[in-house]
Structure 1
């Protein structure tokens, strides 16, 4: 992200958590980092959506359980409004079905609240750059664990899947199984650059923002079955 004069501009962050003490801790950590700027804080989802609309931060650090509107609903509202804003979920150490709901709503990833500071900063920069921060293997375990929360594949099979070539569909399945581009390339005996191209085509054709959404769609469409 660069300014008009070519200088790198700070990543603008909206910090959302209903516990002021936690917000203070995150503000202290992030405020000490060059290139990160906390533009506002919110204590619930309603306030978060309003601030996201008005301020258009690059990244929203979003808590899950909050009064008035939880993080899942707030994430969905931000994504549905097509704001140029990406959401990074902050949750407790124990993973739960709310995380799956938030990822399905369009979040770009999630982190535990006790994540090391360096990992938090790196994740924010990654999300701001347009990538996801949930490792596919972690997401696969989440979806396996909470498969009952996903809709019936027969009712959600997206028509867009028919636009994929056989190889693109094969790559999507491998992505959903948690393989990296390099691992898929070795499995299919092609170059990693070729796989990157296929992944890009898959995301474009299916209207997805990142690999996280691709994994979720693969499960919801029935391409990959929980536990398989």
Structure 2
């Protein structure tokens, strides 16, 4: 069954290289689960377009004229926090990855990835709230990317403040389950799941799903993260 327009992931492509932007748009339009709703060459054009339509995910170039990808990301995260951001760049250095992930983007990919990985990344940021490949995961481990918790508790004591249920919810979030799926698996209400998620954000000092995953990774709470 083909996804309906309501179920398709709405995408924005922001890249000042016309050929790359058009080629990416052509590829994504052939993926039935995706719908390209914005295709622009700059951050200024993106924000102008957002007044009419808002995508689920923005595929964003890092180096652009007028406003670079970092500044576009910062403004999106501040004014449109519901929109997920995947950086697509030829600049795949550890420093850039750390800087952008610290900022709060939801994924960081090289421009030479194949269609399958791009589709997987888009799907995962929709479900999990982030996409982390092996390279980014290693950078996060090396960089201890999680923000310092707002609480003054030492890390070892901080872990003790997590209830068993909160650890269960965190594990399922890191495995890519939505709040609705977690509610079904744990036989609890969706409202209760959201409550646990809120508590996890407050206790760990994380500000989004990416930071929660980094917290779990840093403290080796679960295998396979």
Q: Under TM normalisation by the shorter chain, which class is it?
A: 0.5 to 0.7
Structure 1 residue matching 2:122: 3-state secondary structure: helix
Asked whether the 8 Å contact 1:87–1:107 carries over to 2, the reply is yes
Asked whether the 8 Å contact 1:64–1:98 carries over to 2, the reply is no
Q: Which residue number corresponds to residue 39 of structure 1? A: 37
Q: Which residue number corresponds to residue 160 of structure 2? A: 166
Deviation at 1:40, TM superposition (A): 1.1
Deviation at 1:118, TM superposition (A): 1.2
Aligned residue pairs, count: 191
Worse overlay, 47-56 or 116-125: 47-56
Q: How high is the TM-score relative to the length of structure 1?
A: 0.66
Q: Which residue number corresponds to residue 208 of structure 1? A: 207
Q: Which residue number corresponds to residue 77 of structure 2? A: 79
Q: 1:204 to 1:9 in 2, by over 3 A?
A: farther
Q: How high is the TM-score relative to the length of structure 2?
A: 0.66
Q: Which residue number corresponds to residue 23 of structure 1? A: 21
Asked whether the 8 Å contact 2:84–2:129 carries over to 1, the reply is no
Asked whether the 8 Å contact 2:206–2:212 carries over to 1, the reply is no
Of 68, 71, 76, 2:66 maps to 68
Q: Deviations over 1:191-219 (max 9, x none)?
A: xx8xxx9x955346445321x32366789
Q: Which segments of 5 or more consecutive residues in structure 1 lack a partner in the other structure? A: 182-192
Asked whether the 8 Å contact 2:101–2:107 carries over to 1, the reply is yes
Worse overlay, 50-59 or 28-37: 50-59
